[in-house]
Amino acid sequence: MNTASPAPVAKMAERKTEPEASRSYALPRGRWEHFDHGADIGVRGYGATKAAAFEQAALALTAVVTDPDLVMAQETVRISCASDDEELLLAAWLNAIVSEMSARRMLFGRFHVELHDGRLSATASGERLSVRRHQPAVEVKGATYTSLRVACTADGGWMAQTVVDV
């Protein structure tokens, strides 16, 4: 996403005033949050299943750019990736979303993930980027392997996290 116009740049400064570590949102299938990591931003998703945690991590990724509630489900894109390592699969999933966002000039606010034997099949629903309506804060360049982790939580659910380069 290219947000080179002067108006979005001014909005970017306004949106960065809240500390990222304090942003956490509970949703029916789980919750997501951001965590501080220097100049980049950590994204973390929690869910009852590993697939739900991956969905929540994707919402956290969208929330780096804009409020996911502002994104309407007007178009659905199929995404698939594979890895024998569940952590590398998380990074591949988030990077596939970043790639689709960039290539299609879209934002996604709804995700459905299915995981089977190291393969991820998903749908991402969203709409074309509107700088005026979505007021993008930053452009996510990609998911990194920094703080990359997929693990069971103490309550029997799942957590999926990594740091994204902005």
Tokens standing for residue 76: 């659905």
Q: Which residue has the higher pLDDT, 29 or 135?
A: 135
| pLDDT value, residue 29 | 67
Tokens standing for residue 140: 């996510």
Q: Is the pLDDT of residue 46 over 70?
A: yes
Task: Say if residues 108 and 62 touch (Cβ distance below 8 Å).
Answer: yes
Of 113, 118, 45, give the one whose Cα is nearest residue 79: 113
How much is the mean pLDDT over the chain?
Answer: 86
Q: Is the pLDDT of residue 154 over 60?
A: yes
Name the amino acid, one letter, at 98: V
DSSP secondary structure letter of residue 154: T
Q: List, for residues 123-151, the tens digit of each pLDDT value.
A: 999 999 999 999 998 999 999 999 999 99
Name the amino acid, one letter, at 137: A
Least confident of 2-6, 36-40, 90-94, 142-146: 2-6
User: What is the model's pTM?
Assistant: 0.83
* CATH for 6-165, options being 3.55.10.10, 3.40.50.300, 3.10.20.30, 3.10.129.10: 3.55.10.10
Of 63, 66, 56, give the one whose Cα is nearest residue 93: 56
Of 66, 59, 148, give the one whose Cα is nearest residue 110: 59
Q: Three-class SS of residue 164?
A: strand
Q: Is the pLDDT of residue 160 over 60?
A: yes
Mean pLDDT along residues 34-38? 86
| pLDDT value, residue 1 | 40
**pLDDT tier, 50 (very low <50, low <70, confident <90, very high otherwise):** very high
| pLDDT value, residue 39 | 82
Mean pLDDT along residues 73-95? 98
Q: Three-class SS of residue 129?
A: coil
DSSP states of 128-161 as a string?
E--HHHH-------EE-STT-EEEE-TTS-EEEE
Tokens standing for residue 28: 């029916």
